[in-house]
Amino acid sequence: MKFVVSLILLSFGILCYHTGANAAPTAIEDYGDTNAKALWQSFREVKQQIRQRPLRILQLGDSHTAGDYFTGQLRQSLQQEYGNSGIGWLTPGYIPNQRSAQVLMRHPAQWKLVDSKQQKHTGTFPLGGLIQKPSNNSALEMRIKDPQPQGKWTVHLWQQAPHKPWQIKLANGKIRQLATSDKSPAAWRHIEMPIDAAQLHGMKLLAPKGSKLAGIVLDKKAPGITLDALGITGSVAAVINRWDVATLKQQLTWRSHELIILAYGTNEAFSNDFQVQTYEDELVKSIRLLRKLNPKAAIMLIGAPASAKTKAPLSKGNCRLPQPPALIRVQQSQRKIAKQEKTLYWDWAAAMGGNCIVEQWLKQKPELMRPDMVHLSKEGYYFSADRFYQALQQRISTR
């Protein structure tokens, strides 16, 4: 009976996805976040054009974030409703098995990636946990996929350049130097350059010898929303605790996000040696660190989405397809910590139709789940993002 009900709900949800009808979303739970009320008010003020400065959102996560399908769809919906304040924070160049919904990046010469999820990591890691070391005097080609709003933009880099400054080569062949007013002794320095919308297309970042890149930000000088999506394929929530605290404070203060979303849990769910207490301790540590460094931001946990597997180790559970060995325990811990730490919480698996829905998502046309039964298809991520957006709108409109 439970399976039949889930199938009916899913069928209704898919119909709504294709027709644009408004199904009742899985609600965003507020377990007492002290900044939530101000967050919802900020959304209303942006929409009413009372407020001119951008409202910035940050999502940190694993491959579900790194693919930028969920966040790309959410970003588009938010900017259509509230205004477009730019593309936002990008990874430091091309990262294998990751993408931006808005920008294609390519290195003609190979760059060296330093990844904080690696156990033997080395480096002073910035927000996002990735560092690129360019080849000597090499370039990063950037192509904006879709036309962007006209007006004034700014290109920001978080970087190290001990010898010569970074430069940008525009599509017309002109080369401009990025300037810095940052005199701090911090590990990473912020440099920027104003640019027109037309100049965004066909840019090349020219990397000086011995430089390192920690992040690229493309902002439009206009009120509205930016959604910074910084995921690492294969990562877990504990990776945040490997990032340099001084750098995080510097970057989070500069960006001043009003909502920080943590969307982890899938890789923890597939762990062969998952330890509940260790996981909960690390998650609490991450939340408290972000709260300390950005005390005005609301924090939201997104529960791990439904997934399945057919090879051991696995959990047979109550579904026809076996589940990852720790999926239920991870989801239970996420909700428990959301309550304990008084954050916002959204149940992604429930929005999909429950943990047993994977088989049905595989059978949909188009498929909503990829054959690996871990990642969603593009359509599945879009459906999920639309349900999340509906839940967000419901919260914003509730006074």
According to DSSP, the β-strands at 344-346 and 298-302 are parallel
Please check whether residue 111 is in contact with residue 135, taking contact to mean a CB–CB distance below 8 angstroms. yes
Q: What is the per-residue pLDDT for 110?
A: 86
Q: What is the per-residue pLDDT for 399?
A: 62
Strands (E), 18-115: 28-30, 55-61, 86-90, 103-106, 112-115
Long-range contacts at 194-199 (CB < 8 A, ≥ 24 apart) = 194/152, 194/153, 194/154, 195/152, 195/153, 195/154, 195/155, 195/168, 196/151, 196/152, 196/153, 197/148, 197/149, 197/150, 197/151, 197/153, 198/150, 199/153, 199/170, 199/171
Number of C-beta neighbours around residue 370 at 10 A: 14
**CA dihedral defined by 55, 205, 247, 111, rounded to 10 degrees?**
130
DSSP state of 363: H
According to DSSP, the β-strands at 167-169 and 175-177 are antiparallel
Q: Minimal CA–CA distance to 350: which of 9, 22, 4, 12?
A: 9
Q: What is the per-residue pLDDT for 19?
A: 30
Q: What is the per-residue pLDDT for 17?
A: 44
Q: What is the per-residue pLDDT for 23?
A: 52
Distance from C-alpha of 353 to C-alpha of 350, rounded to nearest angstrom? 5
In the chain the domains, ranked by start, together with CATH numbers, are 1-19+26-84+226-399 (3.40.50.1110), 86-221 (2.60.120.1360)
Q: What is the per-residue pLDDT for 314?
A: 79
Q: Which residues touch 340 (CB under 8 Å, ≥6 apart)?
A: 284
Q: Summarize pLDDT for 147-189 with one digit per residue, the tens.
A: 899 999 999 999 998 878 899 999 899 999 987 666 666 789 9
Q: What is the per-residue pLDDT for 25?
A: 79
Gyration radius of the chain's alpha carbons: 21
Query: Would the pTM count as exceeding 0.85?
Result: yes
Q: Which residues touch 355 (CB under 8 Å, ≥6 apart)?
A: 306, 317, 319, 323, 327, 328, 331, 349
Please check whether residue 264 is in contact with residue 237, taking contact to mean a CB–CB distance below 8 angstroms. yes
Q: What is the per-residue pLDDT for 182?
A: 62
Q: Minimal CA–CA distance to 14: which of 389, 391, 383, 347?
A: 383
Which of the residues in the chain have pLDDT under 70?
1-24, 180-185, 399
Please check whether residue 214 is in contact with residue 226, taking contact to mean a CB–CB distance below 8 angstroms. no
